[in-house]
Structure 1
Amino acid sequence: MDTTLPGPGPHWRPRAVVFDCDGVLMDTESAWARVQAQVAESFGVTLDERAGTSLMGLSAADVARDISRRAAAVAEQRGEPAPGFDAVYERLVRTEEDVVGEVLEPLPGAIETVRACAQRVPVAVASNSTRGILDRKMHAIGLADVVVTWVSAQDVPRGKPAPDIYEEAARRLGVEPADALAVEDSPAGTAAAVAAGLWVLGVPHGHDEPITSHFRAESLADPAVGDMLRVWGLPL
């Protein structure tokens, strides 16, 4: 069940907006899930639905740690050497480059919403993607010209659900976290933004996993987003 937190006062207006990427701006999460399953299988691990859900929204490093832990247990049962973290991480990143690169299309409402916000306040993207993949994504969907900065999981000590990525995004934009709006879809992402002190618009886009946010819409194509932006002085 989703959790709605108390929002800011009626006169609050965002001085910056920070968007998640996967599941908010583009539909790459299903491809990322295929990457995880493919890499896990290559190390003798089968990810069931529950395991896949637990990895949703995590960074490549955190996913690699989980898969390497599972692979070590399999290897021990077989009496084989366990694969190290580095081997799993490198294969995960290489596979992601091949698979995710095929599906770099924006989600409905994404381009319009980002560009509307960017006309009035600085905009950033905060993603658990690796730096190289995030660069490709930003240029592929045509937002690199209006987004001030994008922060990857490789730019901070810890990925989501830790607050580091959102703290760094606010720092780069020159605003206090409490003056910024985060737009997120996953439990890990909303937890990261809330922990960093941003106000959070949750857009689960049909996901069943519960999220915690201050505001809620189904996606960036939801008319409720336009209504909120108009109230905040960021009309579409």
Structure 2
Amino acid sequence: MSDTSAPIAAIVFDMDGVLTDTETIWDEVRRGLAAQDDLPWPEGATEAMMGMSTPEWAHYLTTTVGIRGDAAQRTLEGMAARYRQHLPTMPGAVEAVRRLGSRWPLGLASSSPRTLIDSSLEALGLTDQFQVSVSTEEVAAGKPAPDGYLRACDLLGVDPGSAVAIEDSSNGIRSAAAAGLQVIAIPHQAFPPAQDALALAAVVVGNLDEVTPDLVAGLAGSADR
């Protein structure tokens, strides 16, 4: 079977850490809540919450970190305040979305809540580039479970095996791979993925500028090899 026997049908982006450079902001806001509550920050907590849905990470903050009150509300209020100040964008994000969107249908599978997805895409001027977007609030389980990517592919009307995911984190890579997508990994410098997760990626690149239509198209049929 040749590589062109199963052409790429769609691309599904992650958002935080791929399009927006917000992983550090999530960490700073959550650590800030712990500091406000005079709590130590548990080792591995940052990495553990990457990809979790809002109920999942709120539960983690409450039970594992010990955050008091409504952990979700406190966190999202902090995130919204930071976004109003400045929404940092990953280099080449807008260009990459427009470049790939001119050739393939695009989806988004994000761990952010719906309100932050919509406001982020609007701020980036990319709302009309995505045919579908899925928050892990809207599926049964967050990353590393495959639910978000499976839902995005279902809404796009494509088989997951013919889709490509662009991810940065361990849980994100695991989620997309478990759903059956080919994964292009762009490791986040501040929070690099674990080696076992990175091994699940079809391609590892250094930045979004390297994610060209030729690179994506070259993944066609590779799941069958």
TM-score, normalised relative to structure 2: 0.85
Unaligned runs of 5+ in 2: 221-225
Q: How does 1:104-115 map to 2 (within 5 A)?
A: 104-115=87-98
Pick which of 36-45 and 170-179 moved more: 36-45
CA distance in 2, matches of 1:101, 1:59: 22
Amino acid at match of 2:9: R
CA distance in 2, matches of 1:10, 1:95: 47
CA distance in 2, matches of 1:180, 1:117: 13
CA distance in 2, matches of 1:230, 1:153: 28
SS of structure 2 residue aligned to 1:200: strand
Query: Contact 1:181–1:198 at 8 Å: present in 2 too?
Result: yes
CA distance in 1, matches of 2:217, 2:151: 27
Q: Establish whether residue 70 from structure 1 lines up as the match of residue 64 from structure 2.
A: yes
Aligned-residue CA RMSD (Å): 2.3
Q: Establish whether residue 128 from structure 1 lines up as the match of residue 107 from structure 2.
A: no
CA distance in 2, matches of 1:62, 1:53: 13
Query: Contact 1:163–1:196 at 8 Å: present in 2 too?
Result: yes
Query: Contact 2:7–2:217 at 8 Å: present in 1 too?
Result: no
Cα offsets for 1:113-141 (capped at 9, x unmatched) = 21122112210111000010110001111
Amino acid at match of 1:208: P
CA distance in 2, matches of 1:65, 1:117: 36
Q: Which residue of 2 aligns with 1:150?
A: 133
Q: Which has the higher helix share?
A: 2
Query: Contact 2:99–2:213 at 8 Å: present in 1 too?
Result: no
Q: Which residue of 2 aligns with 1:17?
A: 11
Identity %: 33
Unaligned runs of 5+ in 1: 1-7, 73-81
Q: Establish whether residue 209 from structure 1 lines up as the match of residue 193 from structure 2.
A: yes
Query: Contact 2:164–2:216 at 8 Å: present in 1 too?
Result: no
Rg: which structure is higher?
1
CA distance in 2, matches of 1:201, 1:229: 8
CA distance in 2, matches of 1:162, 1:145: 27
TM-score, normalised relative to structure 1: 0.81
Cα offsets for 1:160-190 (capped at 9, x unmatched) = 1111110110011010111110000000101
CA distance in 2, matches of 1:103, 1:221: 23
Pick which of 175-184 and 109-118 moved more: 109-118
Amino acid at match of 1:135: D
Q: What's the CA shift for 1:14?
A: 1.3
SS of structure 1 residue aligned to 2:34: helix
SS of structure 2 residue aligned to 1:161: coil
Q: How does 1:160-175 map to 2 (within 5 A)?
A: 160-175=143-158
CA distance in 2, matches of 1:103, 1:213: 31
* Count of residues in correspondence between the two structures: 214
